[in-house]
Amino acid sequence: MRNFVVVLFFLISCRVGDPPEKVVENYLLAIEKGDYRKAYKLIDKISKNYVSEEDFIKYWEEKFKEWGKPDSHEVYAIKREADTTRVYFRWYFNNGTFEDLVMKLTKTVDQGVYEWRIKFLNYKIIERRKK
């Protein structure tokens, strides 16, 4: 009985963060608006061990010099597999082109809060074409 109470207390004390759909929406909007610091806060801890905030900002600035900057996006599929979620989305560019990409999220626990976080550089371009 005592173990049950301890486990129950632990589960009650754990809070759940935003669902993956909301995390992706916040991440993509931050990137589209150029708020890279906000987007950086939404990547997972392992990614943060390998890329500093400055390098993250530099990555997106260089990518958008190459691709152009997207002006909107559309999330069109979400696939969940235990503690991993893949989000398929389309970025629209003002020159009439779009890109279909897939992004991976993982579920992490940080200070008792379960949160979904983006796996940085775990993006895959599915298709790039004109509208």
Q: Report if residue 125 sits inside a domain.
A: yes
Q: Report if residue 49 sits inside a domain.
A: yes
pLDDT at position 31 is: 94
pLDDT at position 97 is: 86
Q: Report if residue 9 sits inside a domain.
A: no
Q: Report if residue 4 sits inside a domain.
A: no
Question: How many independent structural domains does the chain possess?
Answer: 1
pLDDT at position 122 is: 63
Q: Report if residue 83 sits inside a domain.
A: yes
Q: Report if residue 3 sits inside a domain.
A: no
pLDDT at position 8 is: 38
pLDDT at position 6 is: 41
Q: Tens place of pLDDT for every residue, the chain, 131 residues?
A: 666 544 434 444 445 678 888 999 999 999 999 999 999 999 998 889 999 999 999 999 998 888 788 989 999 999 988 788 899 999 998 888 888 888 888 877 665 567 888 988 766 666 666 55
Residues spanned by the domain of 113 = 16-130
Whichever domain contains 94, its CATH number is: 3.10.450.100
What does the DSSP assignment read for the chain? -HHHHHHHHHHHH-EE---HHHHHHHHHHHHHTT-HHHHHTTB-HHHHHHS-HHHHHHHHHHHHHHH--EEEEEEEEEEEETTEEEEEEEEEETTSEEEEEEEEEEEEEETTEEEEEEEEEEEEEEEEEE-
